[in-house]
Amino acid sequence: GEDVEQSLFLSVREGDSSVINCTYTDSSSTYLYWYKQEPGAGLQLLTYIFSNMDMKQDQRLTVLLNKKDKHLSLRIADTQTGDSAIYFCAEGNFNKFYFGSGTKLNVKP
């Protein structure tokens, strides 16, 4: 499958902004996603962006896409303890989706 990479851990203090980064290799990706996984649970779609966009904002979430560098980021403003989870980026087209290794976000009170 395609290569999607993320850093494994991120630790921030409550109220700070969190930025989770992701790089991918498939230049034909149509959609890029961010999912959240809480312990023992499935994946929750947070947001997604079309490959022809470079930014999308949804309340506390901001997604930035640099298609030239194949770099995707998720910024969480005013991070809360409830945001502690593993965040997966995923890329693909209509038929296949590949996931990064996940970034474990730890929010300290």
Rounded to the nearest whole angstrom, what is the least distance from the CB of residue 62 to other proteins in the complex? Answer: 19
SS3 state of residue 3: coil
Task: Please report, as residue ranges, which positions from 13 to 32 form the binding site for other proteins (by CB under 8 A).
Answer: 30-31
| C-alpha distances in Å from residue 56, one per residue of 13, 52, 60, 101, 106 | 24, 11, 11, 23, 24
- Alpha carbon distance 36, 69 (integer Å): 24
Contact between 4 and 24 (Cβ < 8 Å): yes
Binds other proteins by CB under 8 A, chosen from 72, 100, 105, 107: 100
Is the CB of 14 or the CB of 73 nearer to other proteins? 73
44 lies in the binding site for other proteins (CB under 8 A): yes
Counting residues that bind other proteins (by CB under 8 A) gives: 25
For the chain, the maximum distance between any two Cα atoms, rounded to a whole number of angstroms, is: 41
- Stretch of 18-26, 62-70, 71-79, 91-99 contacting other proteins, by CB under 8 A: 91-99
Interacting residue ranges for other proteins, rule: CB under 8 A: 1, 4, 30-31, 33, 35, 40-45, 48, 50, 88, 90, 94-102
